[in-house]
Structure 1
C-alpha cells in the first residue's frame, strides 16, 4: 500500500541520533554511524522526528510500504521502553488524532494487564505536581496569561501588512507578480498567531507564503515552488519564520533543498519565535 513514511538522506545524516527521541515508536536506530528506518511497520509517517534533525536529512514521502502495525509496535517496542515511553506514545497518538491506533494501543495494554499511564485521575495528580509533557514538544498543552485590555485594543487597530492573496504555499503561484524581485517571508502557520506584532515586525514590505512542514502533504511541491521563486521570480531574500517546536525546523529543510536545486543564490534569514510570542533567535544563514 502507498502511505507517508520517513525517508533519510544518508549523505546528509551524520549519525548524531537527535532524531531518535522524537520517535517513541522505535522506528529509528543509529546503525553504522547513520540513522536508519529499521522497519516500515513501526513508522507512522507523522514526522515527529524531522525537526530534530540538524542536518536536514529527514523528509516524509509517500511510497509503497507495509501498513503501520500498532499492535506490533506496542508489543515489540513501546512496552519494552517502560512507563515513560508508553505515555509518550499514547500522547503522540492522541495529539495527532489517531483514535484508531490509540484504541488498539489501549487494548494491548489491557490485554497485558498494564496500567494506562495517562489515566485521567493520575494525570491530573501529576499535573499538580508539575510533571512536564513527555510527548511531541510541539503539541504540549500550555496555558499562559493573555493580553491586557490596552494591548488588545492596540493590536485590534494595528494595520495589516498583507499585500496579496492567496498565501498558503500550495495555493500560491511562484511567478505571480507579488513575488517578482520581492523579499519573501516564508512563515510557519502558527507564527502570526503566537506573535502579536508579527505583521509590523516581519510582514511589512514582504511577500508572504505560509506552510506547515509537519502536517502539510506534498513537500516536494513546496521545494519546487521555492526553487521557481528563486530562479524564475528572482526573489531578493528569504526570511523563514518558524516556531521553537522541533517539527517546525522542517521548514528550514525545505528551504535548504530549494537552495540546492536553484541556480541562483539568495540570502536566507532564520527567525525562531517562542510559543509565547518572543523572538528567540534571528540570524542570516
Structure 2
C-alpha cells in the first residue's frame, strides 16, 4: 500500500542518534554509523523524529510501504516501556488526529488489562506545534499572601542578543541559560535556579538569529572559564532547542563544561526524568533551523 513514511537522507545523516529516543515505536536504529528505518511496520509516518535531527536528514515521503500495525507497536514497543511512554504515545496519536489508531491502542490496553493512564484527550489540529496549542491552567486561590521571593539577578542585560561576550561577569561564572518563557511559568525561578548564576535567555523558536546565538555562546565559552551550565526549557518541543544551541556552541568552542538540564512543565513544576524523556517526542515539529 502507498502511505506516508519517513525517509532518511544517508548523505546528510551523521549517526548522532538524537532521533532514536523520539521513536519509541522502534522503527529507527543506528546501524553502521547511520540512522536506518528498520521496519515499515513500526513507522507511523507522523514524523516525531524530524524535529530532533540537526542535519535535516529526515523527511516524510509517500511510497509503497508495509501497513503500520498499531497493535504490534503497542505489544512490542510501547506497553513494555510503562505508563509515561503509553501516555505520551496516546497523546501523540490524538495530537495528529489519528483517532482510529488511538482507539486501537485503547482497545489493546483494555484487552490486556493494562490501565489507561490519565492523558490529554482533546486532540490538537493535525501536525500543530504543541507550543501554539491554547490551554487554560486552573489554579486554586492562594489562602494567604506568599512570602516575598528576593531577586537574585546579578547582571544586565540578560537577553542573549544584547550581552557582550567580553563582559567580566562571565569570568568563573555558573551560567543559567533559559528559554524566555520559563521565569513566567516557574514561580520560584529566582530562588531555585537563578541564585548565584549569570543569566542568559532566548527563544529558539521565535528569535531570528539562532545561528548567531551559537556563535555568541561559543565566544563566551572560549573567552572565559565557565564553571557550570544549567539549561532550563519549557516542555514544548521547540523550547528544547535551548539545549541544542548550548551543545553546538560547546562543540564549536571545543569546551567540555558540565551541563545540568531541567524541563519546566506548563503546570509550573519541574519535570521528572521520565517526563523529560517522553516529552522530547513532541509533535514532529522540533527546534532545528538551518545553521
The TM-score bracket by the shorter chain reads 0.5 to 0.7
1:60-99 matches, cutoff 5 A: none
Partner of residue 11, structure 1: 14
Asked if the contact 2:174/2:227 (under 8 Å) is kept, the reply is yes
SS in 2 for 1:238: strand
With normalisation by structure 1, the TM-score equals: 0.56
Give the total of aligned pairs.
189
Partner of residue 159, structure 2: 168
In the alignment, the residues of structure 1 paired with residue 226 and residue 255 of structure 2 have an alpha-carbon distance, to the nearest angstrom, of: 10
- Out of 137, 143, 148, the residue aligned to residue 144 of structure 1 is 137
SS in 1 for 2:241: helix
1:194-205 matches, cutoff 5 A: 194-205=185-196
Partner of residue 231, structure 2: 240
Q: Deviations over 1:115-149 (max 9, x none)?
A: xxxxxxxxxxxxxxx52223211221111223523
1:191-230 matches, cutoff 5 A: 191-230=182-221
Distance 1:166 1:282, change over 3 A: farther
With normalisation by structure 2, the TM-score equals: 0.55
In the alignment, the residues of structure 1 paired with residue 36 and residue 164 of structure 2 have an alpha-carbon distance, to the nearest angstrom, of: 37
In the alignment, the residues of structure 1 paired with residue 254 and residue 124 of structure 2 have an alpha-carbon distance, to the nearest angstrom, of: 43
Asked if the contact 1:12/1:56 (under 8 Å) is kept, the reply is no
In the alignment, the residues of structure 2 paired with residue 230 and residue 197 of structure 1 have an alpha-carbon distance, to the nearest angstrom, of: 27
**Where in structure 1 do 4 or more consecutive aligned residues deviate above 4 Å?**
12-20, 32-35, 48-51
In the alignment, the residues of structure 2 paired with residue 273 and residue 9 of structure 1 have an alpha-carbon distance, to the nearest angstrom, of: 32
Asked if the contact 1:50/1:250 (under 8 Å) is kept, the reply is no
Asked if the contact 2:20/2:49 (under 8 Å) is kept, the reply is no
CA drift at 1:177: 1.7
- Out of 178, 182, 191, the residue aligned to residue 187 of structure 1 is 178
In the alignment, the residues of structure 2 paired with residue 10 and residue 168 of structure 1 have an alpha-carbon distance, to the nearest angstrom, of: 33
Asked if the contact 1:50/1:58 (under 8 Å) is kept, the reply is no
Residue 250 of structure 2 is aligned to residue 259 of structure 1: yes
In the alignment, the residues of structure 1 paired with residue 158 and residue 237 of structure 2 have an alpha-carbon distance, to the nearest angstrom, of: 23
Distance 1:227 1:133, change over 3 A: same
In the alignment, the residues of structure 1 paired with residue 36 and residue 157 of structure 2 have an alpha-carbon distance, to the nearest angstrom, of: 40
Structure having greater relative contact order (Cα 8 Å, sep ≥ 6) = 2
CA drift at 1:264: 2.6
In the alignment, the residues of structure 1 paired with residue 197 and residue 18 of structure 2 have an alpha-carbon distance, to the nearest angstrom, of: 38
Residue 282 of structure 2 is aligned to residue 279 of structure 1: no
Q: Which runs of 5+ in 2 are unaligned?
A: 1-10, 24-33, 38-46, 63-94, 98-120, 275-291
Q: Which runs of 5+ in 1 are unaligned?
A: 1-7, 21-31, 36-47, 60-75, 78-86, 90-129
